[in-house]
Structure 1
Amino acid sequence: MPYKDLNDLPEPVREHLPKHAQEIYRAAYNSAWDEYGQVEERASRVAWSAVKRKYEKDESSGQWKPKD
């Protein structure tokens, strides 16, 4: 199911990603949902891949930060 709003995102995404990263996740997920035949697992993988291009998880704090 595509996400209309950031509040609709899965709880782990909302709790751990900064707002901009959530926006990236939502846009990539929705695009992949349409492009790859409405397969939730695949759309989620695409979304996380898009987030990881711009953000990285700080291993010491566990927080997601923009890449340099």
Structure 2
Amino acid sequence: MALGVPIAISLGFGTVIAMLATGKYPVLAAVHRMIPGVDSCIFLAIPCCLYMDNTTVGARTAHTYR
């Protein structure tokens, strides 16, 4: 967080460095397992939800109920 790097990127780099240091697992095996996990329609729900939230707030259609 001190460098402004997202947590997911720092965890990925840490994993790759540990895999290279130990030499026990091939790095390409980790890449082949990560790509199908990221390529999912479920992950599109988060940006779409944030987009709709910003759109409704910007259009002043979102109301606050107290």
Higher relative contact order (CA 8 A, sep 6+): 1
More strand by share: 1
| TM-score, normalising length: structure 1 | 0.34
Between structure 1 and structure 2, the one with the greater Rg is 2
Normalized against structure 2, the TM-score is what? 0.35
